[in-house]
Chain A
Amino acid sequence: MATPLLALSGVSKSFGAVAALRDVRLELYSGEAHALVGENGAGKSTLVKILAGVHAPDQGTLTLDGRPVTLGNPADARAAGIAVIYQEPTLFPDLSVAENIFMGRQPLRSLRRIASAEMRARAIELCERLGVPLDPDRPARGLSIADQQIVEIAKALSLDARVLVMDEPTAALSGVEVERLFTVARSLRDSGTAVLFISHRFDEVFALCQRVTVMRDGRWVSTDPAADLSVDEVVRRMVGREVTSLFPKEPATVGEPRLEVRGLTRHGSFADVSFTVRGGEIVALAGLVGAGRSEVSRAIFGVDPYDAGQVCVDGKRLPRGDTAAAIEAGLALVPEDRRQQGLVMELSVERNATLPRRWALTRMGLLFGGAERRAAGTWAERLQVKAARLSDAVSTLSGGNQQKVVLAKWLATHPRVLIVDEPTRGIDVGTKSEVHRLLSRLAGDGVAVLMVSSELPEVLGMADRVLVMHEGRLAADIPRDRADEESVMLAATGQGGRS
């Protein structure tokens, strides 16, 4: 083949101490659809953001038609002919379809007035070229996600985009809509556009793409013609890493059911989720981003309401959407986003660490001098939180220490059921193994642990059982001895029948 239309080589990008991309390469050719696959956290999104001009790479080069280019901001990327379609497009809801397509570069007539008729005609022409007749005058509000993506693609066409990046565009689409999107993508491809397609759905990857690039842990793994690959081979390459530097769970006596979830349903998020976690057990909830795992744990904890089903702790049914009652019943949730959900960043370490159980620290209804400090101090010491002073704002701590404060906050309530959502995301390896040891010890003490995790080694190292969610439903319940990377990944990508 000739010179690639767009080529990345040796691209690296770090966020603080976390390396998101290391020495990644990618070549896109005119008239070719190229798939990019990898687990959660493999670096796909970072790569897309570099192509979109949102992030600048720390190292490496990007060439367009063989000439090096720098994409300092999204406008640069657009000028270079790179268009990105996201899973959920961000249109201006109260502007019309035509106005959205031409936002910021409307055709003008004299006195810089917008040439509405011309804009409308060109919008119609673009939609016709895509084979999707959209009314150019209707507001974007109320368009289906599939139609919103068409508007974005029309925008890309009007900019003469030569590279079309689609970041999990099909996640929210129905079968018919996917087919229509693919028809559009194929016709663009055949007219010379380079298409980069990111998806977790292998059938779609193979239906659309000529070549497949696999990424893992921020690194490039392989690029091969799709015809030379099988689904099993792709999965193997996505997950094939060593399970190292992890603390495996110690065996514990499995006791009575502690957390029972029956038929839990929240329309649009998850449906008919049922499972039981027993004392002494660590049960992992695995699945891809967007499969509904965090939503399920939030509903169990009462932060979000649910539409049907029930949650019982030690046989006692919890009221719906009542976090205080859930805490009272012995539930604790270490949430996914510790900066937004786990901690009040501007408050001190001691206030954060005692927030859920501040009522228990009162005497005659009052928090007397130092009660919180003493309580927080006990747990800070036990978890070895490194803070200059407990009265310092928790925002001054490192990520790993912040996570310890969240854990301290909830362990201090002596939970009977502990839900941890991505407990080791974004923290260093040392703290990671401390967290794992802690979870294992808690299970040993009879706590039922439900661990939501996107990191397969963590899931496989820690869990007695692995529940796998796929598109809002429980797809598999795999006991420890039968759980391996392939069985979990296949269930998570909806290929459970093949394992």
Chain B
Amino acid sequence: MSEPAVRVRSALGSWDAIVLIAVVAVAVVGALTIDGVASPRFWRFVTLEAIPIALIALPMTLVVITGEIDLSVASVLGLTCTVMGQLWVWGVSSLPLIIALCLLLGAVLGAVNGLFVTGFGLPSLAVTIGTLALYRGLAYVVLGDRAVADYPAEWTNSAIAPIPGTTIPWMILVVAVLAVAFGVLLHATPIGRGLYAMGNNAEAARFAGISVVRTKFWLFAATGAMSALAGVFWTLRFASARADNGSGLELAVVAAVLLGGVSIFGGRGGLLGVIAAVALLGVLRNALQLAYVPANTLTIITGSLLIASVVGPNVVGMLRERLRRRRPATPTPSAST
């Protein structure tokens, strides 16, 4: 078989494609069977819910590809929300200034994770479970049980304003631009090549002159900044800064990244699959909600998909390997791979 044909075939058989097909299938089946899924309002809601998850999933994909993980993202989001509320209470009335300060805060919180992981060589799983609790705790220190909700209407409206002529919020365009930027960084730059190399074999990456420590540090800082951006959006969308904003969101983000085909062991996966997985989880969740499936069941479904996404690629790989081994025994050795 010729080289381009092989590539087309392998692309179609890839995990990305499976997830993309699943999104379309769920949307079509949902629209046909569940009342309301076909409505524009449904898609507006799905998009609003997917935006913060997508914002955090973008850098998280890169982090997981290097073989690390950041579980503190939802707490960074929560702490950012409370600081944003406090800034407003103190009378900071410039939205760009508030956003800039929040992004800076997020980057610093992420850099603290990065420092512990790269500077002290601690496992990121342990470090970020620690900061998951720490940052959420700090969020309660900032606002306690209060909520700051008296933002100007033009701020809150601007965050959820639709693209003219549609119901889809314009923020999705920001997400799209960032997704392209992260996609190019991961798939078409020397830095991206380095991420895959260090995720597969950090020692070989060091021997190739790749600065594993520095790269991972900046990735954690970027993840913090993106989580903060998600926090700003969260606050404005719900017009409410509270310490428990985004609680448990890290599960949705990690589920999307793994369901998107990124290996939890690092070194494998791509951004397209992750974006498809964010869409899949969003559509599935909201469609089932419309079908009056209880919230607990939805959580069970998310958890099961998470397990399936970790097990799935392994099973597919095992089946492929078995087929490949059996092939030489078949009477048609001329069949190309």
Task: Flag whether B299 is at the interface (Cβ < 8 A).
Answer: no
In the bound complex, do residue A344 and residue B206 qualify as a contact, i.e. CB atoms below 8 Å apart? no
In the bound complex, do residue B211 and residue A340 qualify as a contact, i.e. CB atoms below 8 Å apart? no
Task: Identify which of residues 385-399 in chain A touch chain B, using a CB-to-CB cut-off of 8 Å.
Answer: 389, 391
A-B contacts counted at CB < 8 A amount to 72
Specify which chain B residues have a CB less than 8 angstroms from the CB of A301 in the assembled complex: 207
- The CA-CA distance from A347 to B194 in the complex, in Å, is 11
- The CA-CA distance from A344 to B197 in the complex, in Å, is 6
Task: Flag whether A483 is at the interface (Cβ < 8 A).
Answer: no
With CB as the reference atom, state the residue of chain B lying closest to A361. B190
Given A303-B207, A324-B209, A340:B189 Cβ within 8 A: no
With CB as the reference atom, state the residue of chain B lying closest to A355. B208
- The CA-CA distance from A356 to B7 in the complex, in Å, is 26
With CB as the reference atom, state the residue of chain A lying closest to B193. A358
Specify which chain B residues have a CB less than 8 angstroms from the CB of A335 in the assembled complex: 207
With CB as the reference atom, state the residue of chain B lying closest to A388. B337
In the bound complex, do residue B267 and residue A346 qualify as a contact, i.e. CB atoms below 8 Å apart? yes
Interface of B, helix, strand, loop or mixed by DSSP: helix
Specify which chain B residues have a CB less than 8 angstroms from the CB of A342 in the assembled complex: 204, 207
- The CA-CA distance from A130 to B104 in the complex, in Å, is 64
- The CA-CA distance from A346 to B199 in the complex, in Å, is 10
In the bound complex, do residue A358 and residue B204 qualify as a contact, i.e. CB atoms below 8 Å apart? no
Hey, what's the 0/1 contact readout for A353-370 against B, CB within 8 Å counting as 1? 001101101100111100
Task: Flag whether B27 is at the interface (Cβ < 8 A).
Answer: no
User: What is the size category of the interface that chain A forms with chain B?
Assistant: 20 to 34
Specify which chain A residues have a CB less than 8 angstroms from the CB of B188 in the assembled complex: 366-368
- The CA-CA distance from A389 to B3 in the complex, in Å, is 9
Which of A327, A343, A346 makes the CB contact (< 8 A) with B268? Answer: A346
Task: Flag whether A326 is at the interface (Cβ < 8 A).
Answer: yes
With CB as the reference atom, state the residue of chain B lying closest to A360. B190
- The CA-CA distance from A335 to B268 in the complex, in Å, is 25
Which of A323, A345, A347, A365 makes the CB contact (< 8 A) with B209? Answer: A323
Given A346-B267, A366-B188, A323:B206 Cβ within 8 A: yes
Given A355-B197, A356-B209, A366-B184, A341:B204 Cβ within 8 A: yes
With CB as the reference atom, state the residue of chain A lying closest to B198. A344
Hey, what's the 0/1 contact readout for B185-206 against A, CB within 8 Å counting as 1? 0001110011011001101111
Task: Identify which of residues 321-343 in chain A touch chain B, using a CB-to-CB cut-off of 8 Å.
Answer: 323-324, 326-327, 333, 335, 340-343
What's the least CB distance linking A413 to chain B, in Å?
Answer: 9
Specify which chain A residues have a CB less than 8 angstroms from the CB of B205 in the assembled complex: 344, 355
What's the least CB distance linking A321 to chain B, in Å?
Answer: 10
With CB as the reference atom, state the residue of chain A lying closest to B211. A324
In the bound complex, do residue B206 and residue A303 qualify as a contact, i.e. CB atoms below 8 Å apart? yes
Q: Which of A343, A347, A409 lies at the interface centre, i.e. has the most chain B CB atoms within 10 A of its CB?
A: A347
- The CA-CA distance from A359 to B7 in the complex, in Å, is 25
- The CA-CA distance from A345 to B205 in the complex, in Å, is 11
Which of B7, B189, B200, B211 makes the CB contact (< 8 A) with A344? Answer: B200
In the bound complex, do residue A367 and residue B204 qualify as a contact, i.e. CB atoms below 8 Å apart? no
With CB as the reference atom, state the residue of chain A lying closest to B6. A389
What's the least CB distance linking B100 to chain A, in Å?
Answer: 26
- The CA-CA distance from A361 to B197 in the complex, in Å, is 17
- List 10 A-B pairs, minimum CB-CB distance, nearest first: A358-B190, A324-B209, A327-B209, A355-B208, A323-B209, A344-B200, A341-B207, A344-B201, A346-B200, A356-B208
Interface residues of A, Cβ cutoff 8 Å to B? 301, 303, 323-324, 326-327, 333, 335, 340-347, 351, 355-356, 358-359, 361-362, 365-368, 389, 391, 409
Apart from A346-B267, A355-B210, 13 more pairs, CB < 8 Å? A323-B207, A324-B209, A340-B201, A340-B203, A342-B207, A356-B208, A358-B190, A358-B194, A365-B189, A367-B190, A368-B188, A389-B6, A391-B7
Interface residues of B, Cβ cutoff 8 Å to A? 3, 6-7, 184, 188-190, 193-194, 196-197, 200-201, 203-211, 267-268
